[in-house]
Every structure is written in structure tokens, then in C-alpha cells.
Structure 1
Amino acid sequence: MDIQAVGAALIRPGQILTERGATSAAEQWTQAVAEAEGVFRIMLTPGVDPCEIALRLREEGFRASPNHVLTGQPLWFGGPASRPFPSPPVDRPSGKGPQVTVGVLDTGVAAHPWWAESDWYGRLGPEAADRPTDGNNGNGNGGLARQAGHGTFVAGLIQRRAPASVLRVGRVLGADGIGDEAGLLRALHRLREDPPQVLNLSLGCHTFDDEPSSLVASALGALPDTVTVACAGNTASDRPFWPAALPGVVGVGALGVTEESATPYSGFGPWVDAWARGEWLASAFLEWGEFAGYARWSGTSFAAALVSGAFAAEPSAREAADLRGSREIPDLGVLVPAGL
């Protein structure tokens, strides 16, 4: 699917997302309308600017947004992301704790010895699989696509931090680490029937106007008892990164290995609520080429996964999304220890 750069944001060209009532208001610019799982996507007539139409609909009181492109956030080296590195085997997570349900919306989760016999993995269908490629998009790393294994790595970190956690997996990013706002909204709609107690979103984007998507805010607001954790992005800037910058979402920045200072690539600013190690972490991965099911990787994606695991491991903190008992890092904020 095509991607268009608008300012410093990426969108799907010729598309806007909106609520049902706005479809009539946008009729004069509409070529086709598709609806799936509560998401209305309008395909605009050629030459129409989706950002301009979204703003017009907002002025009329409707929720509307261009279909922003979302990406996973492993460490960037000039784009789009660094590769993971093979790791020796890591001990299987063990320990007792609450069986907290954690939603993981990502590239999916692959088979792995850590959860091969778990009930939650046995319930996953093929649509939730973490795939090595999505067709011909390998990056030369043994044929793996750039972010293949991202969701598996995130799931492994959550399980390392909270071994008794029960994962609910949705695939909203391709193996290249790319998805869009429409896909995220559909996945959030599906979660309404049985909301997880914690939701991990190791993905995000900038918006064309630096304002939050009211559609995503509304979808997350429909999960009032869920603690949502999202990565601050590997942008090395204080520009708001969504959904991490949304009120009510725990935005997480990445610390270095010593957990004393921010990494050079992490997003930062008053909208970042917590900080956790994001550098050179070890976790579950695909079995592919030189990878024997384990890898090391870096990025705010993985700092967010550790914070999600911390909430899953501590029921009292989860109930209030309370991080105040953690140590403060000067000029940054709350530290959530990796606990690995």
C-alpha cells in the first residue's frame, strides 16, 4: 500500500478515517467508502488532500483523521530500523504471579519454547503469526524482513517481567514494521468484547498537525479499565509521538544499559511518563538462519514492553496506573527497573 509524506508525518494517500455521520458530509469528495469493525475509511477522489478534508470535517464537529502510517520502534540508524542480533539462549521465564491479561498489538507472535504449551498461545490463529517476511521484503539479514520478530521479542520481554501473564495477540504491523491507523482502530474495536488488563503498543507515529487522533483517543477511551502503555518513539526529539503522548496512556522512553540516562535516540518531553531500559535487551525471537530463537535488540519499543510487564506483575500499580513509587531520574522522570 502506498505511503505519502506530509510534512514530517506519513499517511496513506487519498484516505481519511471518520465516524459514520461524517460520510454524508464528505460525500462531494468521496470515491468509495469501506466499513469494517467500526472503522469508516473514505477513499477520496483523485487530487483531494486528505489532511484538508479531515480538518474541514473536524470544523463541522466530526472526528476525522488521515490514515496515518504507524511503525514499530526498534533502534533507528537513519531508517528504517536496526537489525536484531543473535543471542545465546535465555532461561525460560519462571515464577508465580497474577495471571494478568496483556494485549500485544504488533507484528504477531511466533512459536517459541517459552510459551509452546501455554493456553494463550494455543488459542492463537494463523492470522496472529509473526512472519519472517510479507512476500519479497527481506533486508539481507538472512532473508528476514526489517522488523520480523518484533512482536515475538516484545512478548518475550513481557513474559520475562511477568511470567504468569496471559497474552492476547493482534497483528497490526507487517514484517516490515509498518501498519496504519485503520488497522489499529479495528484491533482496538475487537478488544472491546473482552478488554485486557494491560495493553502494549510498541508502535506509533507523528500526526500531520501534531494533534492526537480523536479516533484513536476514543477507541482507547472505550477500554477504561485497561492500562495502555506505548513507546515514546525513536525520534530523538520532544515532538509528540502518538499514541504515547495521549492523556491516559503511559508513554515510555528508553534508557541505556545502566538505567541512568536516556538513549540518544529516545523521544522525550513532558508527555513521556516513564523510562525503562531499551538498550541491548535479550528476548525471544524467531528461529531463522543464524537466530536460534533468541536475539538482542534496542529501541523504545522494548522499553515499553518492560513497563507493560511491570504493570502485569504488580496488581496494585496496575489498578491505578501508579508509577510514583519508582525512582525519579533527574530531568527525565520515573524509572521503571528492568527487573530481568
Structure 2
Amino acid sequence: MGKDAYDEHIVVADEHLRMVLDLLGNGATPESTDPRLGLTLVQLADVHDLAARLEQARKEEVPDREPEHVHGPLDSVLGNLRAITQYRYAGWSPTLGKNRILTGVQFKPYTNAGGFTRPTRPEEGEIPRAYTAQPRSGRRVRVGILDTRLDPHTRLGGRYYTDPDALTHVQPDQERQWWEGHATFIAGIVLSLAPTADLDVRTALAPGTTPDAGWTMPLWTLAQRLADYRDSGVQVLNLSLGCSTADGQAPMVLERAIAQLTPTMAVVAAAGNHGTNELEDKDREDQGMPRRAAPLFPAALDGVLAVGAVDAQGVPASFNPIDGKDETKPAPWIDVFAPGVEVVSTYLDETGDQRVQVPIEKTKPVEYETVSFGGYANWSGTSFASAHVTGLVAAQIAGGKTPPEAVQAVRQDLPRP
């Protein structure tokens, strides 16, 4: 499914599906239903034609009500559907939304944004000591990581489960991209803080076709992967990924999926790296970065522990999303802050003979250099602050707390700066 194809789909609550299909007419076809979510993915045959027809129908029935937040034909379809139904039913409208494209916090390579997404090779003395745990030092706790594929690494040996498509199979002389080590880096951080954790690593991300394309995912696919975690035994789930929206409102499909998880597990998510002021507007647009104060989802959803980054001195990182009223402060929806600046953890190229392509900072157009990492990297971002908090929550659960109790304990230990 190409990028434009996502603009040809909407997601509708099952109990409202027949009503919405009747309103859309022959231009809509149910494509996929997930009973766990109670949602159906609907394909629209001709979005431009459908937008024009619904606009005309709304003008005839509700001439004094213009739809809000219209940024294209799909927004027009949704806006006019809501306007018509709200007029007919005293303000009520069916549950529906976009199948937005999600771009990960670190999967989208912000290569010219101050260096915080560019891993470097650490000095020998910076590599953390091996983490071990005695069998009686804490109970086992299952930690979910939905991310890029995981690289096999001796430091992680025996402590992870993966889907068949979530573990890399590196070929001799294969050229790697720097963002491919994201899940491996996160796994190392979690285990360093919760050595009795068993990692349940999965992916639904599709790699781009160029080195700087990153990984993308339709939210419908993400929601289904989140639903897969519901009965998995996972007690804390790390989501170092996210998406923004043009109107700042939460994507309905993501909100529905997260709401089904939070009663039984702790969900920890990265706040995002888009608060940097080191980019011109054109560069920010080219790199697909949200506005500096934009909320990132799922981090900004209710029930999710949103994590920002601080440096070694506890100072909030410059790339945290900002408060739109006071740019010197982090966004108010960020719950806790943890180390996320120049963190050292497990990474690609443990054998030392792979080629890892890393962007050279602030070159235009972006240029790359080949680096050998030796199994570890120094990296910055809220992704890794999120992993730190996930490890802390897992350690609290290993000590006997329930997931809600563990989240509350971490909140108290990590107050906002």
C-alpha cells in the first residue's frame, strides 16, 4: 500500500458502520474488520468525488455549518459526515477517523536537527558493565517492545522473544542503516535496569526505499499489533514511536487500541524529538517534523506514561516538545523525564565487520559515512528516556508491585524538572 493509499481509507466503529456506509453510498467498501478493536477499515473509491458529494449534501441540509480542520479531501469527507450527523442527531456523530501514517520518533531520521538522532561510537570506558540477575533477586516480568527489528546481541542473549519478522538476519557484507539499531539499543537499556525482564519484541514497520526514508506504519496496522499484546502476558509496553496530527487531536484508532491495554498493563511512550529550535521552517518541513509544541501520540493519550529526556545533570533536553506558551519549558503533557542525552547501550555491528551508514551532521543534502560500532553506541532521544522509564517500571513489578502501582512509584521518583 503506497502512501497515497492511506488517504483512501477511514476507520469506523463497528456499531456505526452500516450508518456510515449508507451516508457514503457506493463509494465505500469495508476492507478489514478487527473484533478486538471493534473497528472496520473502509476503502473509499474516489475521495475527491466523495468529498464533493458530501459537501453538496451538507450545504443542502446544514447550510450554516462549515466542517472544521479541513486540510484536504479526506478531511472534507470526515468533516461533512460529522456536520450532517450532528445536525440530524442533536450533536451526536458516529465514531470514525483517518488511517493515518505513523512515523516513528527515531525511525524518521531527523538528520539535521542538532545531532540527537545520530549515534556515535562510544569510548571503551563508556560501555556499561554486563547486567546480571540472580534467580532470587526478583520475579520475571514480561516487557513488550514494539519497534524496529532486533539484532541478535550477546548482551541480550536468552532474554527476548520475537516474531519471525522481528529478528534481523544479517548477511555477510550487508550495509546497515543507523536507525536499524533502535530496538537493540532500547532492549539494552531496559535489561540494564530490569535484568529479570523477558523482552517480547515485535515490529509492524515497513522500511523505506532510501537510506533516509526511515520506517513507516499505517495506524490500522499499529492498532492491530497493539491488540496482539492484550493477552500476551506483557506487563509493561514500551512505545518509542509516535505520530502527530494537523489539528492536535488524538487519532481515534490509536486511542481505541491503547484504551484496551491500559487496564492491565503499563504503557510507556516517548514524547518525541521535535522540540528542537535548530531547524529552519523549510528544513523542518522537509524532514517531516511536527511543530515544536505539537503533541505526539500515543504519548499524549490518557493512561500512557509520556517520557521526556534530560541530560546527566537533570536538565531537560532541547529537543523535548515545548510548551507553546513558554518555549523554555517542556510540553505540559509530558509526565516524567529520564536520561536521554548521550546514552550508551547495545547496538549494531557487534562483530566489527559490518558497514553502518551514519549521517554526517548538518550536511545539505544529507551525506553519510561508514562507521563500525563494535556492538555499542552513544545516542540521544526521548526514545531512550522512554526505555529507561520502562526499565524502572519493570523493576518495580519484579519487586512485587502491580503495573499501576509500579507506574505510580516511578511518577513519584521522577518528578517533572
Report the counterpart of residue 86 of structure 1 in structure 2. Answer: 121
Aligned-CA RMSD value: 2.8
Highest Rg: 1 or 2?
A: 2
Q: Contact 1:130–1:148 (CA<8 Å) still a contact in 2?
A: no
| Count of aligned residue pairs for this structure pair | 312
Report the counterpart of residue 272 of structure 2 in structure 1. Answer: 233
Where structure 1 has 5 or more consecutive residues not aligned to the other structure, the ranges are 5-10, 134-141, 335-340
Cα gap change, 1:32 to 1:92, in 2 (>3 Å): farther
Q: How far did 1:73 drift?
A: 2.0
Report the counterpart of residue 40 of structure 1 in structure 2. Answer: 40
**Aligned pair 1:326/2:413, yes or no?**
yes
Cα gap change, 1:265 to 1:21, in 2 (>3 Å): same
1:269-316, CA deviations, whole angstroms, 9 ceiling, x for partnerless residues? 221100011111111122232132222211111111100111001123
Where structure 2 has 5 or more consecutive residues not aligned to the other structure, the ranges are 49-72, 86-92, 208-213, 276-291, 322-329, 356-371
Q: Contact 2:47–2:74 (CA<8 Å) still a contact in 1?
A: no
Amino acid at match of 1:54: L
The separation in 1 between residues aligned to 2:268 and 2:347, in whole angstroms, is 21
Of 6, 9, 12, which residue of structure 1 is paired with 2:6? 12
The separation in 2 between residues aligned to 1:117 and 1:191, in whole angstroms, is 20
Q: Secondary structure at the match of 1:182?
A: helix
TM-score, normalised to structure 2's length?
Answer: 0.67
1:81-108, CA deviations, whole angstroms, 9 ceiling, x for partnerless residues? 8332233554322233331111111113
Cα gap change, 1:279 to 1:42, in 2 (>3 Å): same
Of 100, 105, 117, which residue of structure 2 is paired with 1:68? 100
Report the counterpart of residue 157 of structure 1 in structure 2. Answer: 189
Of 121, 143, 147, which residue of structure 2 is paired with 1:106? 147
Aligned ranges 1:171-190 → 2 under 5 Å: 171-175=203-207, 176-190=214-228
Report the counterpart of residue 303 of structure 1 in structure 2. Answer: 385
Cα gap change, 1:46 to 1:254, in 2 (>3 Å): same
Amino acid at match of 1:210: G
Amino acid at match of 1:253: G
Report the counterpart of residue 138 of structure 1 in structure 2. Answer: none
Report the counterpart of residue 280 of structure 1 in structure 2. Answer: 342
Cα gap change, 1:324 to 1:182, in 2 (>3 Å): closer
The separation in 1 between residues aligned to 2:43 and 2:254, in whole angstroms, is 19
Aligned ranges 1:201-280 → 2 under 5 Å: 201-223=239-261, 224-236=263-275, 237-258=292-313, 260-267=314-321, 268-280=330-342
Q: Secondary structure at the match of 1:304?
A: helix
Q: Secondary structure at the match of 2:206?
A: coil
Q: How far did 1:210 drift?
A: 1.1
The separation in 2 between residues aligned to 1:270 and 1:307, in whole angstroms, is 18
More displaced 10-residue stretch of structure 1: 173-182 or 298-307:
173-182
More displaced 10-residue stretch of structure 1: 238-247 or 208-217:
208-217
Q: How far did 1:31 drift?
A: 4.9
Amino acid at match of 1:226: M
Q: How far did 1:132 drift?
A: 7.2
Report the counterpart of residue 51 of structure 2 in structure 1. Answer: none
Q: How far did 1:54 drift?
A: 3.5
**Aligned pair 1:312/2:350, yes or no?**
no
Report the counterpart of residue 374 of structure 2 in structure 1. Answer: 292
Cα gap change, 1:205 to 1:94, in 2 (>3 Å): same
Q: How far did 1:14 drift?
A: 1.8
Q: Contact 1:132–1:148 (CA<8 Å) still a contact in 2?
A: no
Q: Contact 1:148–1:177 (CA<8 Å) still a contact in 2?
A: no
Q: Contact 1:72–1:147 (CA<8 Å) still a contact in 2?
A: no
Q: Percent identity?
A: 29
Cα gap change, 1:20 to 1:56, in 2 (>3 Å): farther
Q: Contact 2:8–2:46 (CA<8 Å) still a contact in 1?
A: yes
1:243-288, CA deviations, whole angstroms, 9 ceiling, x for partnerless residues? 1111111111111232x21111111322110001111111112223
Q: How far did 1:76 drift?
A: 3.0
The separation in 2 between residues aligned to 1:51 and 1:253, in whole angstroms, is 31
TM-score, normalised to structure 1's length?
Answer: 0.81
Q: How far did 1:117 drift?
A: 2.8
Q: How far did 1:327 drift?
A: 5.0
Q: How far did 1:15 drift?
A: 2.0
Q: Contact 2:116–2:381 (CA<8 Å) still a contact in 1?
A: no
Amino acid at match of 1:155: A
More displaced 10-residue stretch of structure 1: 308-317 or 161-170:
308-317
The separation in 2 between residues aligned to 1:54 and 1:313, in whole angstroms, is 44
